[in-house]
Structure 1
Amino acid sequence: MAVVLPSASGRELLNPPSDGITNLCFSNHSDHLLVSSWDKSVRLYDVSSNVLRGEFLHDGAVLDCCFHDDSSGFSAGRDHTVRRYAFSSGKEDILGWHKAPVRCVEYSYATGQAITGSWDKTLKCWDPRGAGGQEHTLTGTYPQPERVYSLSLVGHRLVVATAGRHVNVYDLRNMSQPEQRRESSLKYQTRCVSCYPNGTGFALSSVEGRVAMEFFDLSEAGQAKKYSFKCHRQSENGKDTVYPVNTIAFHPIYGTFATGGCDGYVNVWDGNNKKRLYQYSRYPTSIAALSFSRDGCLLAVASSYTYEEGDKLHEPDAIFIRNINEAEVKPKPKVYPAPPA
C-alpha cells in the first residue's frame, strides 16, 4: 500500500527506484518522466496517471539519462556503456562505450547528436541513427582536462564541468577545440552546471553551498554581471552547516530556477533580481535531482540520500511531483523608489 505524505511535498510516484536516484528528466513532448538510479535501472513514468510504463537495466549503476524524443531515450552507466531505448517496443541496444564510467548524457536537438561525458576524461558525440556498437555511430572524441561531472546544452552551446573546477564551453558546430576554457568562480568541487534558457550563460553549483551565475559574453561589461551567492545552509547555536547543492533546474517559461541541496530543501530563485522567491517544505532526505515539465506547471523532485554523510540509515528514495503555482516561479517586478518631490 502506497504511503500518502502531506500535500506540501507533492504527489508521490508509485514504484520508485530501490537505490539512489541519479537523475530525472521530463520529456519535451509530454508528461513522461525518465529516471536513472544506482539500482541499475532506467524507468519511464507516465506522471499524469502515476504509472510505471517501462523499466530497462544496465550491468551497473545508471548515472544519467535523457530523452531523445517521446518514444526513445539514452542512458549513461557505471558499466562504461551508453545505451538507447525504444519505449514502445521495449527494445534497447548499446550505442557505444567509454573506458570508464559514463557520468553524463545529453541529447542536442540542434545537431541531432547524443553527447556523453565520462570519468575517462573524454567527451564523445554519437549519431543515434547509426547502428549500435558500430564505429560510425561515434562522430567524435574530445579530451577533457579532468573527469566529467556535469553537462548542459542550450542551442549550439555545450558547457562541460569537470573535476578540478574546469569549465569548457563548446560550439557544437565546431568541436575542434573549446570556444572558451574557464575555471569555476567557486572555490570547491562542482556538482552541477545548467545553462540559462535564453542562451546567455550558465549556473554552477558546488559542494560548499554556493551557486555561481556566469555569462558567455567575455567583454568587460558581460563579465561584470557574474556573481555567486550562498544557499542551502543552516545556522544552529551560532554554527553554520553547509550542504552541497546537487541540482539546478531552470523554469522553461520564466527563466527562474530551482536548486536542490543535501539539506532536503528546494529553493526557487530569481537570478536577475538576485532574490529567493520560494522555499518548499523540507523533503525526507537529500534532493538528488530536479526537473520542470515542458510547460513549467510541474516540478519533479528526487528525494534520495546522496551519501554526503557516509553509509547510514536514511529515508527511502522517493519521487514527488509538485503542481507549480505561478507565484512561486514568476519574477517579481522591481519596485523603484519615487523621485524626490
Structure 2
Amino acid sequence: MSTDIQLQPPTDGISALSWSCDGSRLLVASWSGQVDVHDVTNLGEVKPPTTHPTPAAILAASFSPTNPVLAYTAGLDKRLRQWDFERGQERVVGKSDEAISCMAVVDDGLVFTGGWDGVLRVWDPSAPTPLKESLTLPTKIYSLAYAPTTRTLIVSMANRKVFVYNLDIDELKRNLSSGQGGLGKPQQERESALKFMTRSVAVMADGQGWASGSIEGRIAVEYFDTSDATQAQRYAFRCHRATVDDVDCVYPINALAYHPTHNTFASGGSDKTVSIWDHVGKKRMKQYTGFANEISCLAFSPDGRYLAIGSSYEHDNGVPQPEERTRIAVQIKTTVMDDCKPKPKA
C-alpha cells in the first residue's frame, strides 16, 4: 500500500480535520461551509465523501470522543451544530454573539466554544436549554484544547494570554444544572512563551502540558505543573523557516497534533512541510515535504496509525491566485506509527 492516501478534497480551504473515536470516519470541514465525511474503514478502496452543506464558512469541527457518529461544527454563522451521521440529522444547538473560531468536546457530553467575542461558552447539547454558561474573558479566544487524561482545558487568547482550567466534570455538570455557574476562575493564568500571535495549540497525549505554534515560526513546549523543577523544562524553538534567494523566510505554524501513544507531535506550516518532533529529546525525527500548498490542518487517528493532513492556501501572502485555490488536498500518511516513535538515546 502507498504511504500516501489521497482523499477527495473540498472546494475551498480546509479549516478542520477530525477522526471518529473508532477511526472509521474522517470529518473534513472547509471555508466553503461544507462538511465532508469520509468512510476510511478501508483505505485501499477510497470512496467519495458524503457532503453536508452549511450556510457559512466552518472554522471548528470535532467528532464526539465517545460516539463515532456524532460530531459538532461551528463557524462564521455563529451557530454550534450537532450532526448525527448515522441518522442523517443536523440540528442547531445554539447561537453565539460572534463567529465561533474554536471548540473542545469533552468525554462527558459537554462542548466548550470560543471566538472573536472573547466569550467562553459551555454547552450541554442533551439539555433542554443547551447553553449552560458564558464567561467573558479578557480578549479574543484563538484556540481551545482539552487533555482527557488530566481533564485540563487550555484557553489560548490574544495578547499572549493563556487560561488553564482543571475540570471536575461531575461537579461542573452539577453546578451547571443547578444554575450556580460551573467554571469560575481559571486555576492558572499564564503568559505564552511565544512573543507573537499563537496560531495553533495541542495538548500532550499524557496530559502533562501543551505545545503552541506562532505566526513567527516558533513552537513553545510548556507544562501545567507550576513547580520550579517542571517549569525549568519549558522551552521554545525556531522551525518552519527557509532561505529563499538568500532571504530568510519565516512561516506561520498553522497546525499541531500529538501522537496518541508515542506522545510526540506533528507540526504543519505555511512552508508546505510537516515535521515530527520529540519534545522530550528536543529533536526533529521526520519531515514530510512535497505538498503543493500550505499545511492548514493535522489530525492523528485514535490508534496512531494514520496522520490526516489538510493542505490549502492560508492567505499568508495576500489574495491567492486562482490556481492556488484549486491546489487543495486531503492526504493520509500510513507510516506515522514508526515515524513518531521516539528513538532511543545513543
Q: Which residue number corresponds to residue 121 of structure 1?
A: 118
Aligned equivalents of 1:282, 1:105: Cα separation in 2: 31
Partner SS for 1:222 = helix
Q: Which residue number corresponds to residue 317 of structure 1?
A: 328
Note closer, same or farther for the CA distance 1:326–1:137 as it changes in structure 2 (3 Å cut). closer
**One-letter code of the match for 1:324?**
T
Aligned equivalents of 2:130, 2:192: Cα separation in 1: 32
Partner SS for 1:99 = coil
Structure 1 position 262 matched with structure 2 position 256:
no
TM-score norm. by structure 1 comes to: 0.91
Partner SS for 1:106 = strand
Q: Which residue number corresponds to residue 85 of structure 1?
A: 83
Aligned equivalents of 1:144, 1:304: Cα separation in 2: 31
Aligned equivalents of 2:237, 2:244: Cα separation in 1: 20
Measured after TM superposition, the shift of residue 327 of structure 1 is 3.3
Structure 1 position 157 matched with structure 2 position 152:
yes
Partner SS for 1:285 = coil
**Residue correspondence of structure 1 range 219-238 to structure 2 within 5 A:** 219-238=227-246
Partner SS for 1:51 = coil
Deviations 1:47-86 (A, max 9, x none): 2342345322222101010012211100011001000011
Structure 1 window deviating more from structure 2 (195-204 vs 39-48): it is 39-48
**Residue correspondence of structure 1 range 12-31 to structure 2 within 5 A:** 12-14=6-8, 16-31=9-24
Given that 1:54 and 1:87 are in contact with CA atoms closer than 8 Å, whether structure 2 keeps it comes out as no
Partner SS for 2:200 = strand
Given that 2:262 and 2:342 are in contact with CA atoms closer than 8 Å, whether structure 1 keeps it comes out as yes
Q: Which residue number corresponds to residue 4 of structure 1?
A: none
**Percentage of identical aligned residues:** 38
Aligned equivalents of 1:236, 1:316: Cα separation in 2: 22
Aligned equivalents of 2:22, 2:311: Cα separation in 1: 25
Measured after TM superposition, the shift of residue 35 of structure 1 is 1.2
**Residue correspondence of structure 1 range 12-161 to structure 2 within 5 A:** 12-14=6-8, 16-47=9-40, 48=42, 49-68=45-64, 69-109=67-107, 111-131=108-128, 136-155=129-148, 156-161=151-156
Given that 1:296 and 1:324 are in contact with CA atoms closer than 8 Å, whether structure 2 keeps it comes out as no
Structure 1 window deviating more from structure 2 (139-148 vs 248-257): it is 139-148
Measured after TM superposition, the shift of residue 45 of structure 1 is 0.7
Given that 2:313 and 2:320 are in contact with CA atoms closer than 8 Å, whether structure 1 keeps it comes out as no
Aligned equivalents of 2:82, 2:12: Cα separation in 1: 21
Deviations 1:206-230 (A, max 9, x none): 0000000000011111110000011
Deviations 1:303-335 (A, max 9, x none): 111110111221521101111254311101112
Given that 1:211 and 1:231 are in contact with CA atoms closer than 8 Å, whether structure 2 keeps it comes out as yes
Given that 1:20 and 1:304 are in contact with CA atoms closer than 8 Å, whether structure 2 keeps it comes out as yes
**One-letter code of the match for 1:124?**
R
Structure 1 position 175 matched with structure 2 position 183:
yes
Partner SS for 1:17 = coil
Measured after TM superposition, the shift of residue 114 of structure 1 is 1.0
TM-score norm. by structure 2 comes to: 0.90
Aligned equivalents of 1:281, 1:258: Cα separation in 2: 13
Given that 2:307 and 2:336 are in contact with CA atoms closer than 8 Å, whether structure 1 keeps it comes out as no
Structure 1 position 273 matched with structure 2 position 271:
no
Structure 1, unpaired ranges of 5+: 1-6, 336-341
Note closer, same or farther for the CA distance 1:55–1:130 as it changes in structure 2 (3 Å cut). farther
Structure 1 position 204 matched with structure 2 position 194:
no
Aligned equivalents of 1:52, 1:112: Cα separation in 2: 30
**One-letter code of the match for 1:78?**
L
Given that 1:31 and 1:293 are in contact with CA atoms closer than 8 Å, whether structure 2 keeps it comes out as no
Structure 1 window deviating more from structure 2 (154-163 vs 234-243): it is 234-243
Given that 2:111 and 2:123 are in contact with CA atoms closer than 8 Å, whether structure 1 keeps it comes out as yes
Structure 2, unpaired ranges of 5+: 169-181
Aligned equivalents of 2:24, 2:253: Cα separation in 1: 26
Aligned equivalents of 1:179, 1:298: Cα separation in 2: 35
Deviations 1:266-295 (A, max 9, x none): 000000000000001221100000011111
Given that 2:306 and 2:336 are in contact with CA atoms closer than 8 Å, whether structure 1 keeps it comes out as no
Aligned equivalents of 1:138, 1:52: Cα separation in 2: 35
Aligned equivalents of 1:20, 1:326: Cα separation in 2: 27
- The aligned length equals 322
Aligned equivalents of 2:91, 2:5: Cα separation in 1: 33
